[in-house]
Chains A and B, each alone.
Chain A
C-alpha cells in the first residue's frame, strides 16, 4: 500500500524559507503568486492492505519522527 505524508508548518508559524521562495518567484516574473509556504512530502510504502492499521502506523510515524507537532501539522493521503 502506498501513502503520501505531507508535513507543513502550522499557519501561525513564520516560514522564512517560504517567504524567500515567494520573493524569488516574484523576481523571476512569475505572475499571480500571492504567498508561498513550503513543507515536506514523504512517500511511504506499507506492508499489507489494511487501511486502518496503515493509518495508525503513519500517525505513529508522524508523532514520533516525521513531524514536530510544536510547529508542524501533517496529513496522510493514500494512493487509489
Chain B
C-alpha cells in the first residue's frame, strides 16, 4: 500500500489522515504538495484531506480543484486508482468533476461539529469491505458546507447505481434527512464514482481510530483500504 496525501494551502487534516493510514493500515503515506505535477511512483491510493483550502474563498474546494496535482489525481482515478476525499477533499472532488454534485451551506446555516451515525450502504467496495452492510458507525463531522445536493437526474442515477456510500442515520438505523447534520438530500454523507474507486465523504473516519480518545468506528475504512490494496 502506497498512499499519497495531498496538501493544499489551508488543508488541516492531512496529518490526521496520514496518522490513520499509519496506525490502522500500516502504511507509510507521503504528503504531496498541491503544486506538484506528479504523484510519487507506485501510488495506489490518493487521499484529499479535510481543511479549508484557500480559506474557502470563492467556493469550498473550488480553487484547490484546479491545482496542478489534480491532473495527476484525475489520471490516477481514470486508471482505476483509489481516491478518498474527506470533507474539504470531498468538496474538491466535486469541484474537480471527479464526483457529481456539490456541497452547499448547511440547511440550518450552522457549522456543525459533533459525532454522527452513518449507515454503511454497501460493504463490497475497496473502502468498506471491513464493515457489514447496514452497520451503523460513529464518526465526527465538522463542517459548515456539507449539504450535499445535485440535480434530480444525478441523484436518481446515484441511487439506482448504488453509489451512495454512507447516509446520516438515527440510532435505529432509519434515515431522516431533516434530522441529519446538514440537510443533505436523501441523508447522503458520501458517494462513489461510477467505478467505485473514488469515494468522497463529509464525515471524518480518520478521527475515530484510537480507543484512548473515543470510538474506533473509523478504523474499518482504513482496514478496508489495506485489505483491498493487499489483495490487488
Interface residues of A, Cβ cutoff 8 Å to B: 13-14, 16-17, 20, 64-66, 68, 70-71
B58:A70 contact, CB within 8 angstroms: no
Given contacts A65-B58, A66-B58, contact A71 B102 (CB under 8 A): yes
- Ordered by A's residue number, 5 sampled pairs between the chains whose C-beta atoms are within 8 Å are A14-B107, A17-B109, A70-B101, A70-B102, A70-B151
B149:A17 contact, CB within 8 angstroms: no
Contacts of B100 in A (CB 8 A): 70
Give the residue of B59, B106, B107 whose beta carbon is less than 8 angstroms from that of A68: B59
Complex: A65 Cα to B63 Cα, angstroms: 7
Interface residues of B, Cβ cutoff 8 Å to A: 58-59, 62-63, 66, 95, 100-102, 104-109, 149-151
Give the residue of B58, B108, B109, B149 whose beta carbon is less than 8 angstroms from that of A71: B149
Contacts of B105 in A (CB 8 A): 16-17
Complex: A70 Cα to B101 Cα, angstroms: 7
B62:A65 contact, CB within 8 angstroms: yes
B109:A68 contact, CB within 8 angstroms: no
Complex: A64 Cα to B63 Cα, angstroms: 10
Count of chain A to chain B residue pairs whose CB atoms are closer than 8 Å in the complex: 31
Contacts of B62 in A (CB 8 A): 65, 68
CB nearest neighbor in B for A10: B151
Complex: A43 Cα to B107 Cα, angstroms: 30
Contacts of A70 in B (CB 8 A): 100-102, 150-151
Contacts of B58 in A (CB 8 A): 65-66
CB nearest neighbor in B for A20: B109
Contacts of A14 in B (CB 8 A): 104, 107
Complex: A65 Cα to B65 Cα, angstroms: 9
Complex: A64 Cα to B97 Cα, angstroms: 11
Contacts of A17 in B (CB 8 A): 105, 109
CB distance from A44 to the nearest CB of B (A): 14
CB nearest neighbor in A for B151: A70
B66:A65 contact, CB within 8 angstroms: yes
A16:B107 contact, CB within 8 angstroms: yes
Complex: A20 Cα to B108 Cα, angstroms: 10
Contacts of A20 in B (CB 8 A): 109
Complex: A17 Cα to B104 Cα, angstroms: 10
